[in-house]
Amino acid sequence: MVDKTLPTLTNTAAIADDSLFLVRRNGQTSDEKTTGADLKSYFNTTPTITGGTIDSTVIGSTTPAAGSFTTIDTGQGAVECYAMDQAVRTSDSVSFSGLSLTTDLAVVHGGTGASNASGARTNLGVGSGDTVAFNKLTLNTTAIVNTREELMVATVSDSGEDKFGVANGTAANGEFAPTFFGYKDSDDDIYSINLRGMTDATNDASDSSDFGIINIEGYRTDNASDPNNGAFSRIENRKLLTITNGAGGGRTIPVIIAADDNITITGTLNTRNISTDGNKLDTIETNADVTDTANVTAAGALMDSEVDADIKTLTLPANTTISTFGASLVDDSDASAARTTLGLGSIATQAADSVTITGGAISGITDLAVADGGTGAGTAGGARTNLGLGTIATQAANNVSISGGSITGIADLAIADGGTGASTALAAWNNLVQSASTTVEGAVEKATSAEVIAETADKYADAATMQSHNGIAKAWVNFNGSGTVSIRDSYNVSSITDNGTGSYTLNLSITMANSDYAVGGSAKALDNTASNARFMTPTSNTTTTSCQVATSSGLHSRTDCELLSVIILGEST
């Protein structure tokens, strides 16, 4: 744990004050810890050394060259220093940049107790060389996965991929299926797995034991955590042994040993069906005489006494033979058996005018016409065309898409079903839009001219119908009536006729409802003096399309005015 190399003490600044050193003074049997600061104070000055040794070199009048040393003998006693890692500080956590041990670190201290690999394996109990010995081996897999999982595998060093091992044999469901497996890559002359039990001549001298050389045992244990050390009892329900050829849906289980010790063999044995032929044997009576009447009749044959004498004497021509098929047909006991022999199905018994087909397919015939109850086509598309069906016929009832045309003759789709509950735009609008009020936002209906005139509530007037209101000016004009009459600005006044001094006719561009409308206005001279004040009055010459006004001075004599304004109020058409 120490490094005996010290910095050159001719330059003590190279030693950090908080570095650690072990110092053993002359005559001491143990080391003492000191800091770099204390050590530098010991060598703080360059002493005059007239005797002694440095690393066993006798000191004369000249000090040896600077360098590393471990022992200084100044005549006052040797000081042996061991420098510890200078990065180490005086704390509870000590680290070293270099470490050297003179004694092997014991196993109990986290080591191997050895200085070589062989000794380390021996001390750790893992065997030696290529042979690994374990007192007890437990293999744990992190989790059962939905796949076959190899837990312990030995691979044979040959040209193939031969191996054997222990695995989880399940392929799905996350279930554990302990499996011992063997795989042979090639060479079909050698088995893939072999169970071999052996004994010697002494143990083979007799057969008094109940156990064979190879035993396959099944037990029920009462200890799930340590099943091999539990109490064993008999398997009561599950099968003890199955021998399987293949896997998945195509498996066969020719041999089953059940919990009741019964052996079930399925499949074939020497090409004979075990189940079928076994049932035949079960039907044979004990000490049966196959020639007695009961057995002959049960076999469908006749006793000699039952055969007609003429049949017995019937002679067939020498060249007459009955084929095997013919014999089987003659041998049939009834019409149903004969139809089976002839390969006829159930449709053979139906009348031609009352055929019922419940399955299968019909091919190779002319398409059945629509008039005969068919579609007149051999394809679905052709059938739809012949039956007058459109493309909507192929759509699902819960996913109908209509891209054109029109729908008639159906009830209006309710608002709750995504419709408007109406068949016209106006009715749809009325159904979907709520009316506005002073507290609720909604729709307000546009007023007609008559409704504007009548001031119908909850209706609005737009720019076109606003002028229908009786309180709105139907026409107005500002014009110069002196000299050549000219209109400065106007509304619904198309022109003005100068009738003479102080008389004007306003020609309207609209038609009033009657001639009883109101006419008002003003007139004055341009100099604004009191003596130039003027009066404007309407005359009785008023029609639905024009009205006449007159201007006069304060002496009631007619006179032209430079500034006239006229406004007309009333009902227009």
Provide the residue-wise pLDDT of the chain in tens; the chain has 573 residues.
333 444 444 455 556 776 666 665 555 666 677 777 776 666 554 555 555 666 566 665 455 544 444 455 444 444 455 444 443 334 444 555 555 667 888 887 778 888 888 788 788 877 555 555 555 556 555 555 556 777 777 776 666 677 777 777 666 665 667 777 777 776 666 777 877 878 888 887 777 776 777 777 787 888 888 888 888 888 887 776 676 666 544 445 556 666 666 777 666 766 677 777 767 766 666 666 667 777 778 777 888 788 777 777 777 666 667 788 888 888 888 988 889 889 898 888 888 888 888 888 777 788 888 888 889 888 888 989 888 888 888 888 888 888 887 777 788 888 888 888 888 888 888 888 777 777 777 777 788 878 888 888 777 777 777 877 888 899 999 999 998 999 999 999 999 999 999 999 999 999 999 999 999 998 887 666 555 667 788 888 899 999 999 998 866 788 888 899 999 999 888
Do 439 and 515 lie in one domain? The reply is no
Q: Rounded to the nearest 5°, which phi and psi values hold at 149? A: -135, 120
Whole-number pLDDT of residue 214 = 78
321 found inside a domain: yes
> What is the Cα–Cα distance from 262 to 515, expressed in whole angstroms?
126
81, 6 Cβ separation under 8 angstroms:
yes
237, 245 Cβ separation under 8 angstroms:
no
Beta bridge mates, 524: 533, 563
229 found inside a domain: no
**CA dihedral (96, 99, 102, 106) positive or negative:** positive
Residue of 563, 545, 551 whose CA lies nearest to 477 = 563
Q: How many CB atoms lie within 10 A of CB 568?
A: 25
Q: How many CA atoms lie within 13 A of 344 on its CB side?
A: 12
> What is the Cα–Cα distance from 94 to 168, expressed in whole angstroms?
48
Do 426 and 481 lie in one domain? The reply is no
179, 157 Cβ separation under 8 angstroms:
no
Q: How far is CA 171 from CA 162, 164, 251, 355, 422, in A?
A: 21, 18, 15, 51, 63
447, 456 Cβ separation under 8 angstroms:
yes
pLDDT tens digits, 41-56: 665 545 555 556 665 6
Q: Which two tokens stand for residue 174?
A: 């996350």
Do 485 and 530 lie in one domain? The reply is yes
Do 371 and 308 lie in one domain? The reply is no
Structural domain ending residue among the three candidates 48, 64, 83: 83
Contacts of 453 (CB under 8 A, 6+ apart): 468, 469, 470, 571
Provide the residue type at 206 as one letter: S
pLDDT tens digits, 60-103: 545 554 444 445 544 444 445 544 444 333 444 455 555 566 78
- Quote the strand ranges of 66-221, DSSP E: 71-73, 78-83, 149-155, 163-168, 178-183, 220-221
452, 465 Cβ separation under 8 angstroms:
yes
Helix (H) and strand (E) counts for the chain?
A: 11, 26
Residue-by-residue DSSP string for 509-532: SS-BSSS--EEEEEEE-TT--GGG
Contacts of 59 (CB under 8 A, 6+ apart): 49, 50, 51, 52, 53
> What is the Cα–Cα distance from 81 to 39, expressed in whole angstroms?
9
Whole-number pLDDT of residue 12 = 56
Do 505 and 543 lie in one domain? The reply is yes
> What is the Cα–Cα distance from 263 to 502, expressed in whole angstroms?
141
Question: Count of domains in the chain?
Answer: 7
Do 381 and 343 lie in one domain? The reply is no
Whole-number pLDDT of residue 488 = 95
211 found inside a domain: no
559 found inside a domain: yes
- Quote the strand ranges of 366-457, DSSP E: 445-446
317 found inside a domain: yes
Q: Which residue has the tokens 């890692």?
A: 85
96 found inside a domain: no
Q: How many CB atoms lie within 10 A of CB 558?
A: 13
pTM for the predicted model, two decimal places = 0.29
∠ CA 320-323-326, rounded to 5°? 105
504, 497 Cβ separation under 8 angstroms:
yes
Residue of 559, 490, 564, 482 whose CA lies nearest to 520 = 564
Whole-number pLDDT of residue 512 = 93
465, 472 Cβ separation under 8 angstroms:
no
Do 555 and 476 lie in one domain? The reply is yes
Residue-by-residue DSSP string for 532-543: GB-EEEE-S---
Whole-number pLDDT of residue 118 = 79
Q: Which residue has the tokens 């050297």?
A: 100
474 found inside a domain: yes
Do 352 and 368 lie in one domain? The reply is no
Do 350 and 364 lie in one domain? The reply is no
Residue of 76, 84, 73 whose CA lies nearest to 16 = 84
Do 340 and 375 lie in one domain? The reply is no
Structural domain ending residue among the three candidates 358, 374, 404: 358
> What is the Cα–Cα distance from 460 to 452, expressed in whole angstroms?
8
Beta bridge mates, 558: 552
Q: Which residue has the tokens 């090639």?
A: 186
- The residue segments making up the domain with residue 55 are 12-83
187 found inside a domain: no
Q: How far apart, in Å, do the first and last CA atoms of the chain sit?
A: 122
Structural domain ending residue among the three candidates 83, 101, 136: 83
Contacts of 338 (CB under 8 A, 6+ apart): 329, 332
Please report which helix (H) or strand (E) contains residue 486, including its range: strand 486-491
Do 426 and 487 lie in one domain? The reply is no
> What is the Cα–Cα distance from 2 to 21, expressed in whole angstroms?
9
Q: Which two tokens stand for residue 426?
A: 């106006």
CA-derived radius of gyration, the chain: 63
Whole-number pLDDT of residue 288 = 63
